[in-house]
Amino acid sequence: MLSTSTKIKSPSLMLMMMEGRAVWELGAYVASTPLFKRLPSGDGHPVLVLPGLAATDASTKPLRKFLRERNYTPYAWELGRNLGLRDGLLEGMLARIDDIFALNGEKISIIGWSLGGVYAREIAKLRPEKVRSVITLGSPHSGDIHASNARRFYEYVAGHKVDNPPIKTRLRQAPPVPSTSIYTKTDGVVAWQNCCQEMSHDEVQVEQTENIRVMGSHCGLGVNPSVLFAIADRLAQAEGEWTPFEVSGIRKPFFSSDPFTGPLSETQTQVN
């Protein structure tokens, strides 16, 4: 858990300017396509992908293409541009979950990019019987919600303050399903500490919750080859047989393996 004496700050101007790296991450995605064939293949279960703030389903098209090629059944959220929490949005997402579940007859994994990950966690808390797992990419679900370079933009497009949404949420509470928070310490949009699940005293949540650190930008997480590797690894687990992400061998240069030994702000990787 974050130390009470730790003050979380928004990413620096330099990190924000470095978000242009996302273009190179997209290039790495294209170049890595032949290597993706070596990743574990899925069991065909449905995966709902939610876009970030001000983004549409077009932003998650490469990720959904990757999932389809790994033998999953990906779904877009089909709710237009993500303009923040607003009246009717929660009902729309729950209806989407209900429809996908009815169509496939099996639990759904949800991947949410940035703000989409915040939604994914809330959906899993409301429909745990229909959600298999949750994976968030640079999603600010913990820490200080004001520590973000996108806060003012969010408040402008959403029409409300970040700490006064029209929908009641339980941001810091982990979903009651296996949950993976993927983040980068060089995130130029939201404070990386906000993207890590805080420690919980609920033994079920502790056993099913993990934080994975990768190298990259916030805007490139959805196409970052390291992120896709982690996603493929997490989704390939058999339902009911969740185990923490393992960092060993060739994975070490791309993922952090430091154990949790202190305040989250000083930790590189935490697996609860």
Q: What is the pLDDT of residues 93-114, one digit of tens each?
A: 999 999 999 999 999 999 999 9
What ranges in the chain are assigned the alpha helix state H? 13-17, 22-36, 61-69, 89-104, 115-126, 151-158, 203-208, 225-235
Contacts of residue 29, defined as CB under 8 A and 6 or more positions apart, other chains included, come to: 62, 223, 224, 225, 228
For residue 222, pLDDT over 70 is answered with: yes
Q: What span, in angstroms and rounded, lies between the C-alpha atoms of 48 and 66?
A: 13
Nearest to 211 by CA among 229, 199, 224: 199
Q: How confident is the model at residue 238 (pLDDT cuts 50, 70, 90)?
A: very high
pLDDT digits 0-9 by tens, 157-173: 999 898 888 766 778 88
Q: What span, in angstroms and rounded, lies between the C-alpha atoms of 54 and 71?
A: 29
Contacts of residue 178, defined as CB under 8 A and 6 or more positions apart, other chains included, come to: 132, 133, 134, 208, 209, 234, 237, 242
| 3-class state of residue 205 by DSSP | helix
Domains and CATH numbers, the chain: 13-266 (3.40.50.1820)
Contacts of residue 145, defined as CB under 8 A and 6 or more positions apart, other chains included, come to: 151, 162, 163, 171, 194
Give the HSE-up count for residue 134: Cα atoms under 13 Å, Cβ half-sphere.
Answer: 37
For residue 268, pLDDT over 80 is answered with: no
Look-up: residue for tokens 């979903």? 175
pLDDT digits 0-9 by tens, 109-156: 999 999 999 999 999 999 999 999 999 999 999 889 899 999 999 999
- Categorise residue 97: left if φ over 0, alpha if ψ from -120 to 50, beta otherwise: alpha
Q: What span, in angstroms and rounded, lies between the C-alpha atoms of 128 and 136?
A: 16
For residue 74, pLDDT over 80 is answered with: yes
Phi, psi for residue 224 in degrees, rounded to 5: -65, 120
Nearest to 242 by CA among 139, 127, 109: 109
For residue 266, pLDDT over 50 is answered with: no
